[in-house]
């Protein structure tokens, strides 16, 4: 009796990465089903993406469906982002999209329909049922996947994690996949060409407030502290510092207080006011547990996407978790994710060459 193929539902976005993911899985002998996830989108580019995904599925001769999660996306991702900015945080909608949509309702529905696995076009490696940094360090997306549980990782496949982006495009071209040369999407997916500030204006009112320097002196006005993020340069408003000065030192947002509607700016990108030595974490999730682990734990970490990994120490306290940086880090924004990896030496002991993701949390 012929053994049944393992069934995998692939989230196909209409881009080259998920197209190649579906192609590779079919080539490996899986029973592949393509699914376009319709979320919330304000410039209606989803129709074009859905058609691109359908065309690829037809080329690969695999079943294809569109699942409409627009209401859920609006509630779990868009509303979450707006609420975060209203509180003065800098939320990460991509992390929430993965948690609530791709590895939430999409994952759950696929499993109910008999899937053995789900798959996406994320650049991340799966090693021994844990996540590790992708072969393409510039494209690595492990930063956005720290909320995944061990069960979700076990039932997920990431076929392009071992490839560089140029190799993915080359595979697509050779296979005759129509999205081979399609440009990558930039920024927050549901915004399209709309700026985040213009989007937030439809939810949060403009409200003039003071811009202060580090001495507490008023140097200008802004249009609402909730529109800005730590480390932001420019776009702050009418600043005396910049008037008539051709060679002025650039100003960066060092602090913000949405209750008082105040921004504090610092001169120069290396100003000490822009650096933090440690952070406290909330909503901590560990998606990997090494065989033996003791705290405080030497780790690698990043507090921004594409930031180079830096050494840190993860400390377990009575009230929660603290991440101490070996070297102060700048532009640390509350609401963003701090993602934690076992350093290379520890990874090697666990039989994995790449840095294994330990988990992460939200910066308080």
Active-site residue, selected from the candidate residues 32, 189, 251, 312: 189
Average pLDDT (169-190) is 88
What global pTM score does this model have? 0.92
DSSP output for 6-55: PEEEEE--SSHHHHHHHHHHHHTT-EEEEEEEE---SS--HHHHHHHHHH
Among 46-60, 192-206, 229-243, the range with the most confident prediction by mean pLDDT is 46-60
97 is a catalytic site residue: yes
CATH architecture of 7-121+159-191: 3-Layer(aba) Sandwich (3.40)
Question: What is the predicted pLDDT for the residue at 127?
Answer: 87
Tell me the per-residue pLDDT of 172-181, one tens digit each, with 9 for 90 and over: 999 999 999 9
Active-site residue, selected from the candidate residues 20, 50, 95, 97: 97
Between CA 68 and CA 76, with CA 72 as vertex, the angle to 5 degrees is: 145
Has residue 247 got a pLDDT over 70?
no
Average pLDDT (139-154) is 96
Adjacent-strand bridge partners of 95: none
Confidence of residue 103 (pLDDT cuts 50, 70, 90): very high
Tell me the per-residue pLDDT of 117-146, one tens digit each, with 9 for 90 and over: 999 999 999 988 899 999 999 999 999 999
CATH number listed for the domain at residues 274-363: 2.40.30.10
Overall fold of domain 205-269: SH3 type barrels. (2.30.30)
Q: Is the peptide bond before 296 cis (omega within 30 degrees of 0)?
A: yes
Q: Residue 247, SS3?
A: coil
Average pLDDT (342-346) is 70
Interatomic CA distance for residues 361 and 17, integer angstroms = 27
Hunting for tokens 């340069």 — which residue is that? 233
Pairing of strands 320-330, 156-157: unpaired
Question: What is the predicted pLDDT for the residue at 106?
Answer: 98
DSSP output for 122-161: ---EEETTEEE--S-TTT--GGGGTT--HHHHHTEE-TTT
45 is a catalytic site residue: no
The reply to whether 274-363 shares the fold of 205-269 is: no
Domain locations in the chain as residue ranges = 7-121+159-191, 205-269, 274-363
């Amino acid at each position: 009796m012929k053994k049944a193929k393992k069934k995998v539902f692939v989230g196909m976005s209409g881009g080259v990465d998920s197209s190649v993911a579906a192609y590779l899985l079919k080539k490996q002998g899986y029973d592949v089903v393509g699914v376009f996830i319709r979320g919330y989108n304000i410039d209606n580019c989803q129709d074009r993406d859905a058609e691109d995904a359908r065309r690829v599925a037809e080329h690969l001769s695999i079943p294809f469906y569109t699942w409409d999660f627009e209401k859920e996306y609006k509630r779990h991702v868009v509303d979450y982002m707006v609420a975060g900015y209203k509180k003065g945080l800098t939320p990460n909608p991509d992390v929430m999209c993965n948690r609530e949509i791709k590895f939430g309702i999409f994952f759950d529905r696929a499993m109910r329909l008999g899937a053995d696995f789900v798959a996406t076009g994320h650049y991340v490696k799966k090693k021994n049922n844990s996540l590790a940094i992708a072969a393409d360090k510039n494209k690595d997306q492990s930063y956005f996947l720290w909320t995944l549980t061990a069960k979700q990782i076990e039932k997920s496949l990431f076929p392009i994690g071992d490839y560089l982006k140029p190799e993915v495009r080359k595979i697509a071209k050779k296979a005759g996949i129509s999205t081979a040369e399609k440009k990558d999407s930039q920024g927050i997916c549901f915004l399209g060409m709309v700026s985040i500030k213009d989007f937030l204006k439809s939810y949060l009112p403009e409200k003039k407030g003071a811009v202060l320097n580090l001495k507490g002196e008023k140097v200008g006005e802004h249009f609402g502290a909730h529109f800005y993020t730590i480390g932001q340069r420019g776009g702050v408003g009418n600043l005396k510092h910049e008037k008539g000065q051709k060679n002025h030192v650039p100003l960066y947002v060092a602090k913000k207080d949405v209750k008082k509607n105040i921004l504090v700016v610092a001169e120069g990108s290396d100003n000490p006011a822009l650096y933090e030595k440690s952070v406290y974490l909330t909503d901590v999730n560990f998606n990997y547990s090494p065989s033996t682990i003791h705290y405080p734990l030497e780790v690698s970490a990043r507090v921004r996407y594409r930031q180079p990994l830096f050494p840190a120490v993860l400390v377990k306290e009575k009230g929660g978790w603290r991440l101490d940086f070996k070297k102060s880090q700048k532009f640390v924004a509350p609401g963003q994710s701090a993602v934690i990896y076992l350093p290379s030496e520890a990874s090697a002991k666990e039989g994995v060459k790449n840095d294994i993701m330990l988990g992460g949390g939200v910066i308080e």
